[in-house]
Chains A and B, each alone.
Chain A
C-alpha cells in the first residue's frame, strides 16, 4: 500500500515515496497482463486465449531450463553472435576509417556499398547457404552482414566529421600524420563506432534468429521454430523471452564497452 504524504518529508522522503510509487505501478501493470493472460480462456479474451496460460509456461520452463538442448541453444547462438558481430567490427571499422580518410577509396567503394546495403541480410540466406561450406559459417555470415553495414556507415560518418579545428590545433601542436590518426581521428570517431555497435548488436540478434530458423540445426532461433512445428507453444514463448533477454544483456554489454572506451562521454 502507498501512503500518500500529507506533509513535506524532505527530498529523501519524496524520492523514496516516488520510487515506491514507481515500483507499485510497475507491479500493477505487469501483474494485470499476467492475470489477463492466465485467465484469458475462461474470460474469453481474444488473441490471448489462443496461448497456453501463464501457469503452463512457468511449468514448462522448469523442465526446459534444466535441459541440455536449451542451454546448448544459448551457447551456440551466443557463439554465432559473438563471431559475426566481432567480425563486423574487425572488418567494418578499419574499412570505414580508410574510406573516410582517402577520397579515392570512398568514391570507389561507396557505390558498391549503396547497391548491397539495401538488400536485407535475410535475403542473403539462400546465397549464403550455397556460398559457405557449412551451415555454421552461413549463419555467422548473416549475423556479420546484419551488423556490418551499420558499423561501416557509422564509422565513415564519424571519421569524416572530425572537427577541422581539432586537426588544425593538432598540426599547430606538432602532431605527425601518425598522431593525427591515433590521437585525433580515431578518438573522434569512437562515439560513432559505439553507436554503430549499439544498433548493430540488435540487428545481429534479429539475424541470428532468422538464420537459425532457416539454415540452422541448432541455436535458440532453431529451438523456437522447432517448438512451433511440434506445437509446443509454451516452449516457443520461453524461447522468445530468452532471446529478448539475450538481446537486452548484449545491449548492456555494448553500453558498458562504450563507456569504457569513451570515458569522456560518461557525464552526458
Chain B
C-alpha cells in the first residue's frame, strides 16, 4: 500500500494554533507532528475540543496555523502568515454534511470536476453514476439531497469528494449522526472504496472502535492543548469486515487506544465541567 511515488504524502510538522492570542489565548494545537504515507488511512482520535477539527481545517485550507507547517507531497499547505487556500486536491466530508440541497444528487457529485474543467459533463455523469452504483445508490441521481436518508447522504458526499480525485480525503466525524447499523454499513462501503483505490485518508472521530476498524494508523490526541499522545499502527489485514471487530487482535488494540485516551477524556470532561461552573 505504501507504493513509492504515489501522491498524497501528508506531513504535519510542529503544527500549532492559538485562537485569540492577545485575549483569551486558547491553545488549540501545540507542536503536533506526524506523517502519513501515500495511500494510508490515518484516523485521529481524541476527546472533544482537542483540536482535531482545527487540524483538519488547516489541512483543508479553511483555517491558518500560528506555528509549524503542513506539507502535501513537499508543497506547503499551511504555515503562519500563508493565507488559507482550499483546493480540490483535499476534499472534505463534513460532520453535518454539506451537499447543496438546491441541486440534484447528480449535479452535486459532478459539479467539481466539471467546474475545474477536468471532465466533460457527459464523462463526469457516467463516472458519477458508476461510483454511486458502487456504493449502492443506483437510481437516486435526479433526487434532491433533502429526500435522502442520513446514510445515503454520507455516501453521496463521499462520492462527491472522490469525483475530484483528491490527493487526500478529509473526513470530519462523518458518521457521527448515523445510527449504529447504518454506520457500520457506510463504514464498510468506505473500506471497499479504499481497498479498491487506496488514497490518503485523514479521518477524525472519537469512536475508538470506528478508528481501529478503518485505520492503518491511529493518532491519539490529548485534550486542550491538542498534542499527539501516541500513534498506534493497526496491523489488521485488509480487506476487513465486521468479523474483525471481535478478533483478539482488534480487542487488544482497542484496549491500547482506550487506555491511552481514557485519562484525556476525563481531563476534557473535567475541563468542560469547570467551564460550565
Contacts and interface: CB of A to CB of B under 8 A. Distances in A.
Interface of A: 163, 165-166, 168-175, 179, 183-184, 187-188, 190, 262-265, 267-268
Interface in B139-189: 144-147, 164
Given A168-B62, A168-B86, A264-B146, A174 B112 contact: yes
A165 B57 CA distance: 11
B140 to A, nearest CB: 14
B115 A179 contact: yes
Given A171-B86, A172-B112, 20 more contacts: A163-B96, A163-B98, A168-B62, A168-B86, A168-B92, A170-B100, A172-B60, A172-B61, A172-B87, A172-B91, A173-B164, A174-B115, A179-B115, A187-B102, A188-B102, A262-B102, A264-B102, A265-B146, A267-B144, A267-B147
B224 interface: no
| B-side interface mostly | loop
A182 to B, nearest CB: 11
Interface in B87-133: 87-88, 90-92, 94, 96-98, 100-103, 111-112, 115-116
B200 to A, nearest CB: 16
Contacts, number: 67
A105 to B, nearest CB: 24
Contacts of B94: 165, 168-169
A166 B88 contact: no
Contacts of A170: 100
A267 B148 CA distance: 11
A265 to B, nearest CB: 7
9 contacts: A168-B62, A171-B61, A171-B62, A172-B164, A173-B111, A174-B115, A174-B116, A267-B146, A267-B147
A174 B163 CA distance: 13
Interface residues of B, number: 26
A262 B6 CA distance: 44
Nearest to A173: B112
Nearest to A168: B62
By CB atoms of chain B within 10 A, which of A171, A262, A267 has the most? A171
Nearest to A175: B115
Contacts of B92: 168-169, 172
Contacts of B144: 263-264, 267
Nearest to B147: A267
Nearest to B84: A171
Q: Return the 10 tightest CB-CB contacts between A and B, nearest first.
A: A165-B98, A187-B102, A264-B144, A169-B98, A173-B112, A171-B86, A172-B86, A174-B116, A165-B94, A174-B115
A264 B103 CA distance: 7
A26 to B, nearest CB: 33
Interface in B44-65: 60-62
Nearest to B144: A264
Nearest to B85: A171
Nearest to A266: B144
